[in-house]
Amino acid sequence: MVSQHPPSVDQLARSLEDTGLPHPLLVDAARSAISSGDASDVEVRARGIAEKMARNLLTDVINGTGVLLHTNMGRAPVDVSMNSGRYTNLELDLVTGERGSRQDRVPQLLAKVCGAEAAIVVNNCASAVMLVLAALAREESVAVSRGELVEIGGGFRIPEVITQSGAKLVEVGTTNRTRVKDFAKAIKKENVVLTLSVHQSNYRIEGFTESVKISELAELGVPVVADIGSGLIDAGCPWLESGPPSWLMNEPAAKQTLEAGADLVTFSGDKLLGGPQVGVIAGNAELVNACSSHPLARALRPGGLVLNALEKIVLAYLNRDSDAIPFWRMATLSVEDLLSRAKVISEQWASETLSTPGGGTLPGVEIPSAGLVIPGDYSEEMRLNDPPIICRVVDGKTILDLRTVHPDDDEVIAAAITALGK
388 cis-preceded (ω within 30 degrees of 0): no
Structural contact between residues 287 and 264, judged by C-beta atoms closer than 8 angstroms: yes
- Is 341 a residue whose pLDDT tops 80? yes
- The per-residue pLDDT for range 68-80, each reduced to its tens digit, is 999 999 999 997 7
What sign results for the dihedral spanned by CA atoms 67, 68, 71, 72?
Answer: positive
- Is 328 a residue whose pLDDT tops 80? yes
- Count CB atoms within 10 A of the CB of residue 236: 12
* The pLDDT of residue 227: 95
- Is 3 a residue whose pLDDT tops 60? no
- The per-residue pLDDT for range 190-245, each reduced to its tens digit, is 999 999 999 876 667 777 778 899 999 999 999 999 999 899 999 999 999 999 99
Going by the DSSP 8-state scheme, the letter that residue 3 receives in this structure is P
Mean pLDDT of the chain, nearest integer? 92
- Is 315 a residue whose pLDDT tops 90? yes
- Is 27 a residue whose pLDDT tops 80? yes
* Mean pLDDT confidence for 62-67: 97
- The per-residue pLDDT for range 153-166, each reduced to its tens digit, is 666 788 888 989 99
* Mean pLDDT confidence for 138-149: 92
Confidence of residue 18 (pLDDT cuts 50, 70, 90): very high
Question: Domains along the chain?
Answer: 62-76+333-419 (3.90.1150.180), 106-324 (3.40.640.10)
- Is 2 a residue whose pLDDT tops 50? no
What are the E-state strand segments in 328-386?
Answer: 350-358, 367-375
